[in-house]
Amino acid sequence: MVQFRVSVRKYWVYIPAVLLLTLLAAAIATFAPRHFYRYWGYLSLNKVESRLTEEQVKAIQNHLQGLRAKIVWSSSRTGNHEIFLMTLPDLKMYQLTRNAYVDYYPRFSPDGESIVFCRSQRPWVSERENDPWDVYVFSLTANRERLLAKEANWPQWITPSRICFVRKNKIMVKDLESGKEELILDGTQEPVKAEIGTPEFSPQDPNLLAFSPRGKMDGVFILDRMRKKFLRFGGGCEITFIPPGNEVIWVEGGGNGGTQIFKSSIGQIQMIPFMDLPGRFSHEYFPRLSRDGRWLVWAASEGGHEHDIADYEIFLWKVGVPFNQAVRLTFNSANDRWPDMYLEK
């Protein structure tokens, strides 16, 4: 009996050590991959370029039914992220940028002749770092680029001469003709106190500002600047307006592949499924609608999550038809993300 008590006491001292090792292992499993990805994610990128087969071209063109448009996105198929453009319905592809840095988040101007995008300040910067970016504009007519804003991320057109972007978690608006910048929302202050992504003004009401904060304020929101009121739509990310601006869509967890796209009206918040692609590629991200609201372009993976190293492919869907009629536009094992779409007149 005495020997049993000694044995229990002997092993009891190891329990705190075991608990500490368990917590340490859980922390390493959770944060070590993110730390590696943040600083050395470029080691995971593939130098891959695959061309569409005749069968793939025919299937895509049958789906498009004569649609004339341009698709722009960021791809790592050359070894680092550059901006690519595809014309529809001929499916010709063009590489717009060539440099040793990360180019991402391209957005068409209202006239479709220019593209704003972000460029990293170091050869590798992951999306987990919000600050070391600059905003550029690329002219499709002149085939050249120029710097628009230093220390800037998540650019978006408001009008042909005004853009918004994020600088150190502050949403700014810049007039491209005068160069004047205006602070719209300070995300470092109450009640936001969060890291801000994907800001976008309503195309219908300039008082409505959509954004995705991560911090004290967390999820997808619209700020009604007139009423000084925040509307929360969900706990997801990447909120964007459905033209003309009465509704929004965003990405939430769940669905077939771990994510799905929801929509809601602004007047009455209600989470309604908008896209959840069947099949292998159903981890949806980066949704963007055409300016008439009839086409959705986005990227989806087979389950890989990291935005700038996972094998995301670009998809296009005519809003309202069955989900399984969405068409895949890219076929390679590189990272294709953040598409945007412009409809030709």
Quickly list DSSP for 250-309.
Answer: EEEE-STTSEEEEEEESSS---EEEE---SS--EEEEEEE-TTSSEEEEEEESS---TTT
Q: List the alpha helices (DSSP H) in the chain.
A: 2-12, 15-40, 54-64
- Burial per residue of 306-322, b for 16 or more beta-carbon CB atoms within 10 angstroms, e otherwise: bbbbbbbbbbbbbeeee
Q: Which two tokens stand for residue 337?
A: 């993300």
- Which residue stretches of the chain have pLDDT < 50? 1-2, 4, 6, 45-48
* pLDDT given at position 49: 55
3.40.50.11540, 2.120.10.30, 3.20.20.80, 3.30.830.10: which CATH number matches 49-343? 2.120.10.30
- How confident is the model over 156-172, as pLDDT tens digits? 999 999 999 999 999 99
User: Mind listing the pLDDT tens digit for each residue in 169-200?
Assistant: 999 999 999 999 999 999 999 999 999 999 99
Residue 14 confidence (pLDDT): 66
- The tally of CA atoms less than 13 A away on the side-chain side of residue 310 is 19
Phi (first) and psi of residue 15, to 5 degrees: -60, -45
- pLDDT at 96 (0 to 100): 94
Task: Fill in the DSSP letter of residue 132.
Answer: S
Residue 170 three-state SS = strand
Locate 342 and state its tokens: 């412009």
Q: Confirm if 117 and 83 have CB atoms less than 8 A apart.
A: yes
In degrees, rounded to 5, the angle at the alpha carbon of residue 34 between the alpha carbons of residues 33 and 39 is 100
